Copies of this chain bind each other. A is one copy, B any other.
Amino acid sequence: MHKIGTYTFTAEPFHCDFSGRMFLGHLGNQMLNAADFHSTDRGFGMKYLMTLKRSWVLSRLAIEMEEMPGQHEQYTIETWVESAMKFFTNRNFCVSDGKGRIYGYGRSVWAMIDTETRQPSDILSIDSGAINNWIVDDKPCPIEKGGRVKMGENAEFVRSIDVCYNDIDINGHVNSIKYIEHVLDLWDIAWYREHRLKRFEIAYVAEAHQGDTLSFYREPTAENEYCVRLMKAEAQTGNPTEVCRCKAVFS
């Protein structure tokens, strides 16, 4: 089996925005599906890990696109493991038309947790570090890693929303992609008519659940670049807690 997994999808009409290009959230969802297919086929997927009481947890995701697939177009996601350490593994993505035209790239960082203690777990302890058999360290992924998103204290409160039924996935918390969609909803169509989303990165800090209210704080950090911090007021105590932090770069 090849170390790089290659999966072909179609840009569905309702997964495309007003301009007929895929929503970034749906592309991110297919990246996560590709990661699931790739790891499952190679013996370290979620289903197998569940038998060991372990699970992958997405820690960071960065997507940088030159162009988004258009409605009805087929596109290909290649995914591979760039490196694996004790507590984190780096998985990359390349999105293309399958014929040599590159749409863009993604980088993700995953941790493994013990599903009983919710504590970090040693990735290399699984099957004597078998994931190391799948490392691809020579395929380029020419986009920056997601760095620490630096935000000052001047981020402006821009919106709050209640976490609802459709936000929650089988893990019982808000699904990783829904945060991306809610953050991108902070800009309106007039903005997207004039600006193309070039890069989006998100670092997940804490899980949000139904009953939480998510508050969005936004700060411009450069020309056409914004950072967004999501805070939740916990359902029980009302204490504010950071949920995730994002950076959106438009061109």
Partner of A177, one of B14, B16, B168, B188: B14
B12 and A33 contact, CB distance less than 8 A: yes
User: Chain B contacts of A188 at CB under 8 A?
Assistant: 164-165, 210-211
| A71 in contact (CB, < 8 A) | yes
Tell me the complex Cα distance, A238–B165, Å.
Answer: 29
Partner of A71, one of B72, B165, B170, B181: B170
Tell me which residues from 161 to 198 in chain A have a Cβ below 8 Å from any Cβ of chain B: 164-166, 168-170, 172, 175-177, 181, 184-185, 187-189, 192
| A23 in contact (CB, < 8 A) | yes
A14 and B166 contact, CB distance less than 8 A: no
Partner of A165, one of B17, B72, B169: B17
| A114 in contact (CB, < 8 A) | no
Q: How far is the CB of A218 from chain B (nearest CB, A)?
A: 14
User: Chain B contacts of A8 at CB under 8 A?
Assistant: none
Tell me the complex Cα distance, A176–B165, Å.
Answer: 18
Tell me the complex Cα distance, A18–B32, Å.
Answer: 18
Report how many residues on chain A are interfacial, defined by Cβ distance under 8 Å: 37
A168 and B18 contact, CB distance less than 8 A: yes
A168 and B17 contact, CB distance less than 8 A: yes
| A25 in contact (CB, < 8 A) | yes
| A120 in contact (CB, < 8 A) | no
Tell me which residues from 10 to 50 in chain A have a Cβ below 8 Å from any Cβ of chain B: 12-14, 16-20, 23, 25, 29, 32-33, 36, 46-47
Query: Which 4 residue pairs are nearest across A and B when measured between Cβ atoms?
Result: A164-B185, A20-B170, A189-B210, A166-B181
Q: Which residues of A contact B (CB under 8 A)?
A: 12-14, 16-20, 23, 25, 29, 32-33, 36, 46-47, 71-72, 164-166, 168-170, 172, 175-177, 181, 184-185, 187-189, 192, 210-211
